[in-house]
Amino acid sequence: MTARPPASTLPSHRLSVAPMMDWTDRHDRYFLRLISKRTRLYTEMVTTGAILYGDKPRHLDFSQEEHPLALQLGGSDPAQLAECVRIAEQWGYDEVNLNVGCPSDRVQNGMFGACLMAKPDLVARCVEAMRGATRLPVTVKHRLGIDDLDSYELLTHFVRTVSGAGCDTFIVHARKAFLQGLSPKENREIPPLRYEWVRQLKTDFPHLTLSLNGGVKSLAEARAHLEWADGVMIGREAYQNPYMLALADSVIFGETAPAPTRRQVVESLQPYVEELLARGEYLSRVTRHILGLFAGLPGARGWRRVLSERANKPGAGLEVLRDALAQVPAHVLDAPATPPPSAAVPGPRSEGISDGVQAQPATLAQEALEPSAQHRA
């Protein structure tokens, strides 16, 4: 095992939270930043049309505390994408990511998202135009394939073509996508995970920066994948159980500062909430993102109940947040973050790449194997 570099040299893409529609808005990102200072955050996907012809501040504004922050774009017109990248740089983003992974019907009708996997030459032209318009890193998030276009050979052709246009960083969702017959939710769950394909990509393209996305539910799993991947992107688990990120700065990035307790996270959030309320916005704009802070712990049900029942009412203020906090025992509020169990690093598959063969999950401690059980509390 290679010695870990000093914390200050570890790039933020080592761990990131996936762009998730209706979830990773600016309020959620601010909240997550209170838990982890180093994890890279992504916006929800924003279409080129929304930026060019819509309300730019509504779609693009963010708090400075959110850095490092990437803007994910949806589009397929090179000229429009180039203009959006220029705007993103002016707005102060740290990265621009092109969505080539979303399989929803609405996205397909706009000719962007996962359907672009079938058009690697077009994606390459988009990337070339984007890179020519900015000094920011331009990255691509994509699937392993779509429908019947799902061989490893086609995947390598896609990566080779797009990287030839200047993209050196790919975030790979380790599943194919079905453009018809499955909902976006089903496309995140039904197609089998093929981690071995992503690992083989790293072997075949060692000069590229490759991040793994899909099915990662703990820091232990992330740390295991980082034995071979350049980065790991976590999706739903980071939203539904956000405190899982509390030790990310130390476990993934080597920082020495202590992780905040859950009480400290809520207290640090209160000034932000006060500013939001002063602008006349509803408390629920923030509180809907923090329901999972105590997932699986005593008091979690009461915390969720108070916020769900009262935060969306006119005039709801900080007293609702304080009343919700009072539902949680002090020993839970002040408990330090618990180090994740170790995980076995998935070994190489002796049979190599095989279509239709699902990657075997890493062997983990039982606590890391079943993180979703916490959400039944």
**SS3 category, 97:** strand
Is 20 marked as a binding-site residue? Answer: yes
- Residue 258 to residue 246: CA distance in whole angstroms: 9
102 is catalytic: yes
Is 113 marked as a binding-site residue? Answer: no
Is 21 marked as a binding-site residue? Answer: yes
Spatial contact of 141 and 106, defined as CB atoms under 8 Å apart? no
How large is the angle between the packed helices 300-310 and 318-325, nearest 10 degrees? 160
How large is the angle between the packed helices 195-204 and 152-163, nearest 10 degrees? 50
- Residue 212 to residue 118: CA distance in whole angstroms: 21
Which listed residue (84, 102, 115, 167) is catalytic?
Answer: 102
- Residue 47 to residue 89: CA distance in whole angstroms: 16
Of 176, 227, 225, 228, the residue nearest 206 (C-alpha): 228
Is 117 marked as a binding-site residue? Answer: no
Is 173 marked as a binding-site residue? Answer: yes
- Residue 148 to residue 81: CA distance in whole angstroms: 28
**SS3 category, 149:** strand
Of 221, 91, 60, 211, the residue nearest 142 (C-alpha): 211
- Residue 285 to residue 296: CA distance in whole angstroms: 23
Is 37 marked as a binding-site residue? Answer: no
Is 298 marked as a binding-site residue? Answer: no
Of 121, 123, 82, the residue nearest 100 (C-alpha): 123
Is 141 marked as a binding-site residue? Answer: yes
Is 187 marked as a binding-site residue? Answer: no
**SS3 category, 187:** helix
Positions at the binding site for FMN: 19-21, 72, 141, 173, 213-215, 235-236
Indicate which residues carry an active-site annotation: 102
Positions at the binding site: 19-21, 72, 141, 173, 213-215, 235-236
